[in-house]
Amino acid sequence: MKTINQILSVIVLGLLCCTQIAHSQNNQQSKSKINIILLMGDDHGWEETGYNGHPFIKTPVLDDMAKKGLVLDRFHSAHPTCSPTRGSIITGRHPNRYGTFTPGWSIRPEEISIAQLLSDQGYTTGHFGKWHLGPVKVDSPTNPGAMGFDSWVSHDNFFEMNPILSVNGSLPIQFKGEGSEVIVDETISFIDKSREEENPFFAVVWFGSPHEPYEALPEDLALYSQLPDSLDNQLVKLTSIKTGEQVKRPLGEVLQERFAEITAMDRAIGKLRDYLEKEGMKDNTLIWYCGDNGIPHSGLYNSKLHGLKGTVYEGGTLVPGIIEWPEEITKPKRSEINTVTSDILPTLCELVGVDLPDRTLDGISLAPIIYGEITERTQPICFWNFDTNHLTENTPYISDELQQGTTPLVKKSGDIYTRNFKNYHHKEILEEDYKGGRSILDNSFKLVIHEKGNDLIKELYNVKDDPGEKINILEDYPAIAASLEKQLKNWQESVLHSLTEADYLDDSSK
């Protein structure tokens, strides 16, 4: 028979084993809760990085991320302008589904956000910088807090040096310093607090740069003092940093300021990466950088792409895309698979183990790209500039008072230096609702459709062989064009179904 001591020894040993197993499971769970940082430049186009071969722009930090991480070489914004693209990141859905048609159109409160999904998984969530999906004030139903962020230091729109920001919806206050560095410093403070609470963190950092009007530090301007003199022979229209009104200035002067803003933003990203490394968090933190749309006219220099910001051509939607995650991406990779900002939500959900919202999404998970498991996209990407000119339905989705912005900016809008928002109910679908520049991109071919007066213009490009969209091959491949057009129309029907608020009714019936 076993002695009492032997029995006790077995019991103690068993308890120790259970404790070690539980500790191991907790460590595995803790390890699985990766930290996540989404970074986005404002109007930062694909060509405006050193790693993509720009002849002048200096982006040593993004270049280093590209050398160590996953470069999404065919990464697109879901829309060629900013507010809609931001909505696609938050929801994983095309912005036309909830009436965020163009800049200044808010999101709808019923949308399910990535911040809400991650918060439910124990993440501490924060937003920093440009919001532009509605006012950031405390009583707005579409502020970052209403969309699932625990804290925010944010602006209704874009900002320059010494930005005026709202902290958790309070009255705006001024923060001294270079704009990109200011919001990175606030992000670092947020991360420090989440560490004290022993929670994984999710930070969305949306820079105000390099959106015009441009303003930069002297040391950054000096880096671009030797741009070609010939650039000053061309005048471009942009906002005056002094008056907020539109002016015309030599392109060389403008590009010097724009490029300097990009370099300052790059440096701020470097400060954030250095902090993560110093604190031992870099390996388990996923950083995803992208732009929100293509290059505007005021920033254009010898682009090889067709179109600009605001168009559904590649020049309007192709943007930088880099994922750095040292724990999983141990060797540099470069993917030529077409990807889009709507993919961010489903990707993060898969990586963290969160169920997708039971709604129609327009993005797919890019986890298989991260792990090297696919070579082609499983579904096409659709783009659509909804034509708001024909809209007659004007019942506000949110009251005008709640849609009034509070954070001032340099650029004047009408008679004010703030921004207000709008969103309308849309109960009836009309044939005119299908109009507006639109395109569909599969793995090789891209069909572009838009109205020009009474004419319907259709173009087909092989973007793998012709990334500059120079040769319209519609007549050579009529069957491919017809197939893509049918898929595009079916997708538009789905989007308009969502626009009528049917998704929310479907939610309430479950």
Delineate the domains of the chain, giving CATH numbers in brackets. 34-211+259-379 (3.40.720.10), 388-396+420-508 (3.30.1120.10)
Nearest to 419, CA basis, from 103, 59, 57, 79: 103
Token duo for residue 415: 């008679």
Ranges of residues in the chain whose predicted pLDDT is under 50: 1-31, 509-510
Cα(21)–Cα(10) distance, rounded to whole angstroms? 16
Q: What is the pLDDT of residue 393?
A: 79
User: What's the pLDDT tens digit per position in 46-93?
Assistant: 999 999 999 999 999 999 999 999 999 999 999 999 999 999 999 999
- What predicted TM-score, i.e. pTM, was given to this entire model? 0.93
Q: What is the pLDDT of residues 123-141, one digit of tens each?
A: 999 999 999 999 999 999 9
Within 197-287, where are the H helices?
218-222, 251-278
Residue 138: what residue type? V
Which backbone phi and psi does 262 adopt, to 5 degrees? -65, -40
pLDDT given at position 509:
46
Q: How far is CA 49 from the centre of its chain?
A: 17
Q: Measured between alpha carbons, how far is 152 from 147 in angstroms, rounded to an integer?
A: 11
Half-sphere exposure of 409 (CA within 13 A, CB side): 27
Residue 260 has which token pair? 């300097």
H-helix or E-strand containing 286?
Answer: strand 285-291
Tokens, residue 483: 């197939």
The pair of structure tokens assigned to 67 is 């050398």
Q: What's the token pair of residue 354?
A: 């969160």
pLDDT at 25: 37
**CB distance 169 to 137 below 8 Å:** yes
* 296 in Cβ contact with 77 (< 8 Å): no
193 three-state secondary structure: helix
83, two tokens: 């507010």
* Helix (H), strand (E) at residue 91: helix 82-91
Give how far Cα 289 sits from Cα of 60, 70, 76, 241, 327, Å. Answer: 14, 11, 12, 27, 17
- Rounded CA-CA distance 36/19 in Å is 30
Amino acid identity of residue 399, one-letter, is S
